[in-house]
């Protein structure tokens, strides 16, 4: 490791730390963002990804197609100068549009006072923006088709395997940063060390993606909403895409998926529960998309610590995968970068101290948002339909209008502020105690 000391650049980045050789594992949203952040601070970054380069790939593999970007993600993108570029092609969603079982629609705005909104962004598009931005840094080196096979965290040694040729290659780094998702290999290494607390919890619900295509080059539903079909035990949501289609996510217990065996049963099921969505999706497309793939599992992951000595760190889903019902998975992962690099930039900071401080600060907030997402798993399916939920929404919104800094509804503090997640919940608790 070079001992060259680079002084502060005056743009808020403290460069007093000697440059490290950093291996970032996973070139998804969090990995490519982390790589940018390290590169801007003068570190030598090697970004390893087991898939091919998605910028030249035809196939979109795994994971959801679009995502709801909110305040925490925006802030992290702004820090690397990409917020405006991302928002320029994102679709604002100003509220939830609820579809009842008869097909009637009603709107609950996220924030009637200041018009804050979520933004629907395409995962692939956002990832491309982040990877392209990295190309401008000569100190970022891309390694696609590199699957981490094993790692010795103590020594910083890694072995990678090519997914097709199975050729192996070795590498070393001063710091290994696992941004390799819910089934993280880096975390699996950490989990073997004594004192690593860990839980993985699968829920009974799986999900499957469908599509409402554009019609005559127009959206088939109002585009500026997150559409929700709450149905007790199951639910469906839809987010708008740039090409005027909607990506529809159907979420229900695996046993309900399994109970639908024929095209006829599927159409009957949609006529019963999603009558207004059926003609928009189209029977033929529905049948094709539903039966072509299996429903995907959803898992909630918590662990502590997020680091190993002064040698390794996990960020994003690798550290805290959550069920998708608060739309905070990506935002929380990006916020990991905001927090970690703000700690790393403190005067006289060492990498060992920074990793320790990150674990200490981040765990409670990441656990809080995992819990909130699990709670919303119930709320979105069920509570959105209830009268008391609508009352509470109205009350919250009214109070928020008159006392904006004093009364921030939970959803808004999570989605439209950078208040620590654990504080969002603590906040809600005293609100509940005051009023209910």
The contact set with a copy of itself (CB under 8 A) reads 191, 194-202, 297
Instruction: Please identify, using beta-carbon distances, which residue of 96 and 320 lies nearer to a copy of itself.
Output: 320
* CB of 199 vs a copy of itself, minimal distance in Å: 4
Whether omega for the bond prior to residue 305 falls within 30 degrees of 0, making it cis, is: yes
Question: How far does CA 402 lie from the centroid of its chain?
Answer: 32
Residues listed for the chain: 436
Q: How far is the CB of 318 from a copy of itself (least distance, A)?
A: 16
Q: How far is the CB of 65 from a copy of itself (least distance, A)?
A: 21
Buried b (16+ CB within 10 A) or exposed e, 309-327: ebbbbbbbbbbbbbbbbbb
In the complex, what is the shortest distance from the CB of residue 161 to a copy of itself, in angstroms, rounded to a whole number? 16
**In angstroms, what is the minimal distance from the CB of 155 to a copy of itself?**
20
Pairing state of beta strands 44-48 and 140-143? parallel
- Name which of 57 and 152 has its Cβ closer to a copy of itself: 152
- Smallest distance, a copy of itself to C-beta of residue 297, A: 5
Q: How far is the CB of 303 from a copy of itself (least distance, A)?
A: 9
Parallel/antiparallel/unpaired status of strands 246-253 and 118-122: unpaired
47/35 Cα distance (integer angstroms)? 7
> Is the distance from CB of 303 to CB of 198 less than 8 angstroms?
yes
**What is d(CA 379, CA 366) in angstroms, rounded to the nearest whole number?**
19
Cβ proximity to a copy of itself: between 294 and 386 the closer is 294
- Which residues touch 138 (CB under 8 Å, ≥6 apart)? none
Minimum distance from CB of 189 to a copy of itself (Å)?
Answer: 12
Please report where in the chains the tokens 């925006």 appear, as a residue. Answer: 74
The answer for residues whose C-beta is within 8 angstroms of residue 2's C-beta and 6 or more apart is: 18, 19
Token representation of residue 406: 């004093």
Residue 215, phi then psi, degrees to nearest 5: -130, 125
What are the phi and psi torsion angles at 107 (to 5°)?
Answer: -115, 135
The minimum distance between CB 196 and a copy of itself, in angstroms, equals 7
Residue nearer to a copy of itself on the CB measure, 138 or 195: 195
In whole angstroms, the minimum distance from the beta carbon of 396 to a copy of itself comes to 34
Q: What are the backbone dihedrals phi and psi of residue 81, each rounded to the nearest 5 degrees, phi first?
A: 75, 25
Comparison of 317 and 396: residue with beta carbon closer to a copy of itself: 317
The b/e string for 160-191 (b: 16+ C-beta within 10 A; e otherwise) is: bbeeeeeeeeebebbbbbbbbbbebbbbbbbe
The strands making up 105-109's β-sheet, listed across from edge to edge, are 105-109, 95-99, 225-231, 234-240, 246-253, 205-212
Task: Report d(CA 80, CA 103) in Å as an integer.
Answer: 43
Rounded to a whole number of angstroms, the minimum distance from the CB of residue 191 to a copy of itself is 8
The DSSP-derived string for 90-101 is -EEE-EEEEE-T
Query: How many CA atoms does the CB half-sphere of 150 hold within 13 Å?
Result: 4
- What separation, in Å, do the N-terminal and C-terminal C-alpha atoms of the chain show? 58
């Amino acid at each position: 490791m070079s001992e060259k000391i680079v002084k502060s650049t005056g743009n808020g980045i403290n460069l007093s730390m000697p440059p490290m050789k950093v291996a970032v594992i996973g070139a998804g949203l969090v990995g490519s963002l982390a790589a940018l952040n390290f590169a801007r601070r003068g570190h030598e970054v090697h970004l390893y990804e087991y898939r091919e380069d998605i910028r030249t790939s035809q196939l979109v593999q795994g994971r959801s197609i679009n995502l709801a970007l909110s305040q925490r993600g925006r802030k992290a993108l702004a820090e690397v100068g990409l917020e405006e570029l991302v928002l320029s092609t994102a679709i604002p969603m100003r509220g939830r549009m609820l579809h009842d079982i008869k097909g009637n629609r009603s709107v609950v705005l996220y924030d009637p006072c200041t018009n804050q909104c979520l933004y629907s962004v395409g995962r692939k598009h956002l990832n491309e923006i982040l990877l392209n931005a990295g190309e401008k840094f000569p100190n970022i080196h891309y390694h696609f088709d590199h699957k981490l096979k094993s790692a010795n965290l103590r020594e910083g040694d890694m072995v990678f395997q090519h997914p097709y040729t199975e050729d192996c290659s070795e590498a070393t780094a001063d710091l290994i940063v696992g941004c390799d998702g819910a089934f993280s290999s880096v975390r699996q290494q950490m989990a073997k060390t004594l004192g690593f607390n860990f839980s993985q919890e699968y829920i009974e619900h799986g999900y499957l993606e469908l599509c409402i295509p554009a019609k005559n080059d127009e959206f088939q539903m109002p585009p500026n909403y997150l559409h929700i079909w709450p149905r007790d035990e199951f639910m469906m949501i839809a987010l708008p895409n740039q090409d005027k289609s909607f990506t529809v996510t159907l979420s229900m217990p695996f046993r309900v998926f399994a109970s639908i065996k024929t095209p006829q049963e599927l159409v009957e099921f949609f006529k019963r529960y999603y009558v207004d969505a059926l003609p928009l999706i189209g029977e033929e497309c529905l049948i094709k998309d539903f039966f072509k793939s299996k429903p995907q599992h959803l898992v909630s992951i918590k662990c502590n610590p997020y680091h190993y000595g002064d040698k390794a760190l996990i960020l994003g889903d690798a550290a805290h995968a959550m069920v998708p019902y608060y739309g905070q998975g990506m935002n929380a992962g990006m916020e990991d970068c905001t927090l970690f690099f703000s700690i790393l930039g403190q005067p006289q900071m060492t990498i060992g101290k920074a990793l320790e401080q990150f674990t200490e600060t981040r765990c409670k907030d990441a656990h809080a948002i995992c819990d909130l997402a699990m709670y919303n798993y119930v709320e979105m399916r069920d509570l959105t339909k209830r009268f008391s939920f609508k009352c509470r929404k109205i009350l919250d919104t009214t109070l928020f209008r008159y006392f904006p800094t004093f009364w921030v509804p939970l959803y808004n503090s999570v989605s439209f502020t950078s208040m620590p997640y654990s504080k969002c919940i603590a906040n809600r608790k005293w609100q509940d105690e005051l009023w209910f």
